[in-house]
Amino acid sequence: MDGRVGLRASRRAAPTPRVAVRSSPRQRARVREQEPVVSAMSGSGLGKENKAGSSTPLRHRPNAFSELDNATPRVMLRKIIQNQPQVSPLALQTVQLEETEDARPEPPSQRTSSTVELQLPDLVPEDASVTTFRMTRKRKKLSISEFERAADKRLPQNQAHSTLDSTLVRSLRMSVGSVMAPDTVEKRGLLRRPQNHKAIDIAAFEGGVEQNMLQIKAQDYLVDLQTSSMTGTTTIRTDAEVVLNNTELFVEPQLGEQNLLAVEPQLSDSKTSAQRSNTSYPAHEKARLEGLVSRVSTDERRTLRFSEKDLITDHEHVDGITQKTPAKEGEDEQDHSQQNDPMEQFSESEEMAGTTEHHADAEYSEHSEKKLSRKAVSQLTAAQDAGVEMEMTPSEGGVAEGTEHQDSPKAELQMAGSPGGHSPASYSLKKSGAKPLKEAVEQTGEIERGTITGVLDAAEEEATDDESDIEDHESEEISMKTPMFVHAAAYRPHPVLSPPHPVKSASPELPPQPVRAKPVPKSSGAAQRKTREPEIASSLIKQIFSHYVKTPVTRDAYKIVEKCSERYFKQISSDLEAYSQHAGRKTVEMADVELLMRRQGLVTDKMPLHVLVERHLPLEYRKLLIPIAVSGNKVIPCK
């Protein structure tokens, strides 16, 4: 055994112990028992040493008990760590040289003592195994320096900087944290993937919006031209068509806002000039409107929506766009109504809005023209004008819709920001002059309402308008029936609705939009009973929703969530009212709420209300709902 060990040690002294082991046929017989272990070990990674040595001590121990104390694994390991050099796995000459050099002196020393100590030969394999281990551990250091050298050698041409700088940089990088071995440089496993910020979409979107605004501006020019040329008739053909072609839902509010924004700065100048030429640009306007409409998606200026819609409805109206989104319908209606008489025009616009979807352009334009001419005199041009001039003077309705006023009101209206420049066209008919879009829009909306009915609520107004419109217009029967029904249904439980409701009713698909109330904030003095519907802060909804969803959400989705939640709250509040009324009370009590939850299926026979309260509410609320008994015979809350 010793001889064998000695042979093995001598063999192992060679740079490649594996080779040595295998190459010696003499030893094979003796080393056979160790070969499998050796080969297995060598296959693990480094070819130099293997863990075969670890097994050998076990074998040799029973044979040489006397030397066990001196050559415990711990002692051997210590010796190895202290003595064995670290060998890099890389086939670098320097490293190998080191290894060989280190290895060589050791075996001789061991050899000398191998005869005496049984464990020494074991030390070699152990050293090998330990060295292997050490090598892996120290691999990083050596490899880094080696890597740097190699990299320097390899990429001298690639680097414009001095090698020193590059090495420094690399060394810095290495030291800083690259745990990668040189061979892993190409790998990107530890590199971070490029982050995709969602803001990019928004940026692109904004850019597109700006482009649209520019387009709208151009459209406004065109519309103005058209309107000015036509007396009493709005050449909304293009605008309406453009708007109608956009099949996006809820485009109205967005369009209006954006248009308002875009148009405002631009409208004041170009309107009058733009009004000269008209008919030639329908196609263009359409295209632009479509583009604009499709891109609008922000609820920035909800207050402008209403006015925008009015404008749009008028335009679309005239154009006789066959395709119209429900949103457009509402807009058309509103626009139309704005242009025409407050009451009648509402109906007209609604009718027209409805009909535009289903009727040919020619028909429509004729109708619109007729209506416009009809209502030209009685229209609230004054209101519009007043609105245009920032003075809410409903009495100004005296301003004729004639061309004389077309410029200013139209300009203002246009500025109001019809999505597709519709508003300019529609308003251009009646008004002239430039005014801030917002003001014009708001005022026109308000004026219309004021003139229409100082008595009726905005909602009721619109409801009646819609209904009357439906009845008036024969061609719009089909289209208007749904709005009427929706309108009636919507208005029945909610008698006090904001002005935008008629628009909503006109478009059955659209859920109610309480935001529309915003455009009609303060009446200029006329008796306007517009009660603004209270809304839940959109930021709150966004916050809660995004918290539970845990993934990014688009703005459109937030809008829809807002609408849904509003619908939901309306429904449950009406339910609660019915329940309390059912019990002969006028106040909603907890019993009503519990009944509602039972109906919803949240509270069952198995799940009482208190359990839900405990589960979901914070302690403060729980204290209020569930009595707590405390010391001193007190019950909180006191009963």
Which residues are near another protein by CB under 8 A? 489, 575, 578-579, 582-584, 591-592, 595, 598-599
Residue 387 has φ and ψ, to the nearest 5°, of -60, -40
Query: Least distance to another protein from the beta carbon of 445, Å?
Result: 30
Query: Least distance to another protein from the beta carbon of 584, Å?
Result: 7
| Pick 453 or 580: Cβ nearer another protein | 580
**Distances 11 to 19, 103, 449 between C-alpha atoms, Å:** 9, 12, 106
Query: Least distance to another protein from the beta carbon of 587, Å?
Result: 14
- Closest by CA to 259, choosing from 112, 79, 441, is 441
Q: How far apart are CA 496 and CA 493, in angstroms?
A: 9
Give the distance, in angstroms, between the CA of residue 349 and the centroid of all CA atoms in the same chain.
Answer: 35
Q: How far apart are CA 332 and CA 335, in angstroms?
A: 5
| Pick 489 or 527: Cβ nearer another protein | 489
- Closest by CA to 279, choosing from 320, 322, 223, is 223
Query: Least distance to another protein from the beta carbon of 593, Å?
Result: 11
For the record, the structure tokens of 627 come out as: 């009595």
| Pick 203 or 578: Cβ nearer another protein | 578
For the record, the structure tokens of 317 come out as: 């109206």
Residue 423 DSSP code = H
**Rounded CA Rg of the chain:** 43
| Pick 584 or 618: Cβ nearer another protein | 584
Query: Least distance to another protein from the beta carbon of 583, Å?
Result: 5
Query: Least distance to another protein from the beta carbon of 548, Å?
Result: 27
Query: Least distance to another protein from the beta carbon of 603, Å?
Result: 10
Q: How far apart are CA 562 and CA 559, in angstroms?
A: 5
Query: Least distance to another protein from the beta carbon of 372, Å?
Result: 36
For the record, the structure tokens of 130 come out as: 């330990």
List strand residue ranges (DSSP E) for 201-348, in order.
none
| Pick 591 or 602: Cβ nearer another protein | 591
Query: Least distance to another protein from the beta carbon of 483, Å?
Result: 16
| Pick 71 or 595: Cβ nearer another protein | 595
Query: Least distance to another protein from the beta carbon of 488, Å?
Result: 10
Q: How far apart are CA 38 and CA 51, in angstroms?
A: 7
| Pick 162 or 604: Cβ nearer another protein | 604
Query: Least distance to another protein from the beta carbon of 534, Å?
Result: 23
Q: Print the SS3 string covering 176-228.
A: HCCCCCHHHCCCCCCCCCCCCCCHHHHHHHHHHHHHHHHHHHHHHHHHHHHHH
Cβ within 8 Å of residue 292, ≥6 positions away: 212, 213, 215, 216, 242, 255, 258, 259, 419, 420
Query: Least distance to another protein from the beta carbon of 631, Å?
Result: 36
- Closest by CA to 26, choosing from 14, 10, 37, is 10
- Closest by CA to 70, choosing from 120, 4, 130, 3, is 120
| Pick 81 or 609: Cβ nearer another protein | 609
Q: How far apart are CA 6 and CA 115, in angstroms?
A: 7
| Pick 69 or 605: Cβ nearer another protein | 605
Cβ within 8 Å of residue 176, ≥6 positions away: none
| Pick 203 or 591: Cβ nearer another protein | 591
| Pick 75 or 578: Cβ nearer another protein | 578
If DSSP codes are grouped into helix, strand and coil, which group holds residue 402?
Answer: coil
For the record, the structure tokens of 15 come out as: 């740079």
| Pick 101 or 589: Cβ nearer another protein | 589
